Amino acid sequence: MRRRFFLKFAAMTLAASTLGACASHPESHSTTAGVTAVQVTDAATWRAARRFAPLSFGKIAYVERGSGDVALFLHGAPLNGFQWRGAFDRLCDLRRCIAPDFMGLGYSEVPEHQSLAAAAQVDMLAALLDSLGASQVDIVASDSGGAVAQLFLVKFPARVRTLLLTNCDTEPNSPPPKVMPAIELARAGTLAADTAAWLTDPAMARATFGAAVFQNPNTLTNEVIETYASPVVSSPKRQAQYHAFHQAFLPNPLAGIEAKLLGAHIPVRIVWGASDDIFSNEDAHYLDRTFPGSRGIRFVPGGKLFFQEENPDIIAEEALRLWKVD
């Protein structure tokens, strides 16, 4: 089975640039060996694929590709579903991949007084999946999206087939100390202005935020900065919601969840950037100990908080292993 798995994964990777509608026709190029390599979907392609689901929570932005069993991708802050573009390019021929934008981040449009707390995000996701006819999902999650994933599993256990967690909140470390400055800026009403500065000084954004969350800060290209920062600072309302999203990290949204996670027996895989100093390696070990169905940890050398953008092949490989594709 393992040999068939790796053969299929290799074939899938080589063919991913020619997956037609599934991959939204990402451009490809030939390597010096004459082999066609995957080219990650760009922002324009992702934007063209974006749809909006009219829900009681507002107009929830999402991108969907592929068919079959649903894989739900949950992004971190201050990102949006674009974080998972590389994983989509590699997995959408095997799953119906859906990446929503959380309320208060990305391109989702929600009413002024809509709660942006993690519990409300869980209910929004359930409503979105209902609207899309998705009864059960494989979840892949990062950062604050990992906190939402854990809460979703607890509230809707029958809806989750598997869970792949990357660097994210845990009950003992939510919010982590290094996120507190952002929360304080949000409380002071200045976080949006600091984020808007990325748009006029992308080199500064790479030297600060980029260096903190990527092994290679140049991963935070001007295009990526624009995709992440523009929507959250686009209007006074969106700036206020951006602040509210961060303020909702307190009190700890995962308080008391451990006992419930100990009773969750679904397959769980933990894939962790080993050089992240926001969510430490101990957080990965905690999750491994807590989930009875844990399939163990894979540490990514040099990986930081948002290593998923730099290493989509690792996400795809681990997802396929967890989903037992052979």
Domains of the chain in start order, with CATH, are 2-13+40-176+252-323 (3.40.50.1820)
**Tens place of pLDDT per residue across the chain (326 aa):** 444 444 444 444 333 333 334 644 333 333 323 223 456 799 999 999 999 999 999 999 999 999 999 999 999 999 999 999 999 999 999 999 999 999 999 999 999 999 999 999 999 999 999 999 999 999 999 999 999 999 999 999 999 999 999 999 999 999 999 999 999 999 999 999 999 999 999 999 999 999 999 999 999 999 999 999 999 999 999 999 999 999 999 999 999 999 999 999 999 999 999 999 999 999 999 999 999 999 999 999 999 999 999 999 999 999 999 998 54
Q: Residue 180: what residue type?
A: M
pTM (whole model) above 0.85: yes
Predicted confidence at residue 40, as pLDDT, reads 74
pLDDT of 112 reads 95
Q: Which of 91, 96, 92 is nearest to 71 (CA)?
A: 96
Residue 120: which residues within 8 A CB-CB, separation 6 or more? 57, 103, 114
Q: What distance in Å separates the CA atoms of residue 312 and residue 84, rounded to the nearest whole number?
A: 8
Helix axes 312-323, 2-15, angle to 10 degrees: 140
- At residue 65, the pLDDT reads 97
* Gyration radius from the chain CA atoms: 19
- The Cα 111–Cα 136 span in angstroms is 28
How is residue 198 written in tokens?
């990325």
Q: Which residues contact 311 (CB under 8 A, 6 or more apart)?
A: 300, 303
* CB distance 71 to 319 below 8 Å: yes
